[in-house]
């Protein structure tokens, strides 16, 4: 299956747009990431996504193929009401189908009940920097796949995920994921990676 399409088995119900309180804070963060080109579109394929937990097994996430849009609205988000990463199954509703990375998000939420938000961005320079500097990383597996789910579980098997809540998707060029208890903190962790990268450039100059 080509990049940029949903890869899991899912039940999707087309419904009215999601209520503003479910997605507005996600859009505010996404606007900043879009302006930095950490979320967007390349060669006709959208990249990057963002989500927040609603309950133990539910979350709101940006819709599939919305990367090209500068501003999202209620019609561009999906509510994931249940999922099972072992069955590779997801159930959702909204005006948009959920991102093709939704099950990876679900797997991360299952690592710790305190995880409240996840950001997935693309940046070749940050991706290279993290790979070169011993950040956590998955093996070379396809994004949105069952292998990616297994890899996420593997790299956090023996540690508290919130103690090191960022990793590189080695098999998904440019792909980076950060997560935290709150959306604002996840965004801050991402900017800390950017700051570390900028420091490394100044030291090399």
pLDDT, residue 95, reads 95
Q: Does residue 161 sit within a domain?
A: yes
Q: Domain containing 151: what range?
A: 9-204
Question: Within a domain: residue 72?
Answer: yes
Asked if the structure places residue 73 within a domain, the reply is yes
Please give the distance of CA 3 from its chain centroid, rounded to a whole number: 15
What's the CATH code of the domain at 127? 3.40.225.10
CA distance 87 to 202: 47
**Euclidean distance between the first and the last CA atom of the chain, given in angstroms as a whole number:** 43
Q: What is the pLDDT of residue 6?
A: 47
pTM equals 0.93
Please write the tens of the pLDDT for every residue from 53-65.
999 999 999 998 8
């Amino acid at each position: 299956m080509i990049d940029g399409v949903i890869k899991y088995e899912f039940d999707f119900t087309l419904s009215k747009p999601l209520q503003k309180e479910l997605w507005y804070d996600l859009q505010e963060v996404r606007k900043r990431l879009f302006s930095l080109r950490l979320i967007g579109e390349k060669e006709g394929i959208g990249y990057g996504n963002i989500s927040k937990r609603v309950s133990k097994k539910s979350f709101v996430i940006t819709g599939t193929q919305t990367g090209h849009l500068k501003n999202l609205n209620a019609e561009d988000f999906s509510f994931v009401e249940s999922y099972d990463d072992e069955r590779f199954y997801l159930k959702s509703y909204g005006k948009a189908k959920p991102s093709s990375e939704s099950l990876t998000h679900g797997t991360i939420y299952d690592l710790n009940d305190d995880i409240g938000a996840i950001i997935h961005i693309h940046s070749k320079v940050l991706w290279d920097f993290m790979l070169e500097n011993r950040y956590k990383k998955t093996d070379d597996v396809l994004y949105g796949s069952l292998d990616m789910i297994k890899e996420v579980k593997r790299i956090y098997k023996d540690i508290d995920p919130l103690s090191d809540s960022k990793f590189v998707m080695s098999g998904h060029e440019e792909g980076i994921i950060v997560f935290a208890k709150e959306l604002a903190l996840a965004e801050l962790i991402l900017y800390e990676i950017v700051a570390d990268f900028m420091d490394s450039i100044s030291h090399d100059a």
